[in-house]
């Protein structure tokens, strides 16, 4: 296997495998846990050289019996921010990553892994610095802890290690994620079922639907992964657009993309609200103190590393995503 992709049947992993195929790369070892078998659909239109169950793969790695690849893209993780089983989260996210890091360093293989913008918690600053990192849940902590290991090892690495802190990723091949899928995915399904999109009322000092996050299309995330494969520069990098946009922007983009598909003219936000296409619901008490009302990646380091490609706006990316969802359904 020339290339190993863990989490290959998941959201970002499957998009990465597809992008590798489009570049002519089919010697791909796909690693995942298919306990939830429906994820296989994400790979059905992809070409791979082999599929390995995650447990089988990690056992081969720990016994040093796995063949040496040219690069490892480690996308596999439990991404459920509401998961309360800390033991499971640390084994699945931290220990698994640590075993792969050790293996890649011994073999001198570049290791590109998924971290998360969740390490920053409530912010308000989102720079790749220890002072900004205050995870709110055990998922964020598992990612933070592994980043800390990487930082300590950085001066004596034998091969490149690149950590990518994804912000709010949306796009094709995420339907299996259920409640952890993007807001764009949920808005699409709400609009199809009810003819409207629901957003939270004002909170954290923001007006109705004006809470803001850094929403990034999965194609841009994949572009960053492939960039660092071709130009490896060890470090930890934020992967976002650098632009916080309101949930209102996402909802309106979904509404107008759905209207465009039906030959209807776009609406303004005010008109969408007045016509009941966007509805505001009370902010849940259970989320107070646990909710990121604002995220915005500082992409200074990413740009300094040479990644110059523009990132899609919410309006551009959501319109493309809705078209894809409609084609699939």
**177, 196, 198, 291: the active-site residue:** 177
Compute how many other C-beta atoms are within 10 angstroms of the C-beta atom of residue 305. 18
Question: Rounded to whole angstroms, how far apart are CA atoms 160 and 154?
Answer: 9
196 is known as an active-site residue: no
CA–CA separation, 159 and 174 (whole Å): 31
What is the rounded CA–CA span in Å between residue 212 and residue 94?
A: 29
DSSP letters spanning 119-182: GGTT-S---SSGGG---SSHHHHHHHHHHHHHHHHGGG-SS-EEEEEE-EEE-SS-GGGGGGS-
Angle at 5 between CA 178 and CA 134, to 5 degrees: 60
The C-alpha atoms of residue 169 and residue 177 are separated, in whole angstroms, by 12
Q: What are phi and psi of 130, to 5 degrees?
A: -55, -35
Count Cβ atoms within 10 A of the Cβ of residue 82 and give its class: 0-12 exposed, 13-18 middle, 19 or more buried.
exposed
Is 139 tagged catalytic?
A: yes
> Which of 139, 166, 170, 321 does the annotation list as catalytic?
139
Burial class (CB in 10 A: 0-12, 13-18, 19+), 14: buried
Paired strand residues for 278 = 197
Ramachandran category for residue 108: left, alpha or beta (phi over 0 → left; psi -120 to 50 → alpha): left
Residues classed as catalytic: 139, 177
């Amino acid at each position: 296997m020339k290339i190993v992709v863990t989490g290959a049947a998941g959201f970002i992993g499957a998009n990465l495998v597809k992008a590798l195929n489009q570049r002519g790369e089919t010697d791909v070892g796909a690693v995942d846990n298919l306990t939830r078998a429906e994820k296989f659909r994400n790979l059905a239109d992809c070409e791979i050289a082999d599929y390995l169950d995650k447990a089988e793969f990690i056992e081969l790695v720990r016994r040093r019996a796995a063949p040496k690849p040219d690069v490892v893209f480690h996308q596999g993780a439990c991404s459920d921010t509401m998961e309360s089983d800390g033991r499971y989260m640390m084994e699945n996210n931290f220990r698994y990553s640590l075993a792969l890091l050790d293996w890649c360093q011994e073999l001198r293989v570049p290791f590109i892994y998924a971290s998360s913008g969740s390490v920053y918690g409530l912010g308000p600053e989102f720079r790749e610095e220890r002072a900004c990192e205050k995870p709110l849940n055990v998922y964020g902590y598992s990612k933070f802890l592994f980043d800390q290991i990487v930082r300590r090892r950085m001066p004596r690495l034998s091969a490149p290690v690149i950590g990518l802190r994804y912000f709010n990723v949306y796009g094709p091949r995420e339907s299996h994620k259920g409640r952890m899928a993007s807001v764009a995915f949920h808005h699409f399904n709400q609009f199809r079922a009810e003819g409207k999109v629901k957003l939270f009322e004002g909170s954290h000092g923001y007006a109705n639907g004006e809470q803001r996050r850094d929403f990034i299309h999965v194609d841009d995330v994949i572009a960053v992964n492939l960039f660092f494969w071709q130009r490896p520069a060890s470090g930890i990098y934020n992967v976002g657009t650098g632009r916080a946009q309101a949930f209102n922007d996402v909802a309106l983009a979904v509404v107008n993309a759905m209207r465009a598909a039906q030959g209807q003219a776009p609406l303004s936000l005010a008109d969408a609200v007045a016509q009941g296409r966007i509805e505001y619901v009370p902010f849940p008490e259970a989320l107070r103190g646990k909710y990121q009302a604002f995220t915005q990646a500082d992409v200074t380091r990413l740009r300094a590393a040479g990644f110059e490609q523009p990132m899609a706006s919410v309006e551009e990316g959501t319109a493309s995503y809705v078209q894809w969802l409609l084609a699939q359904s």
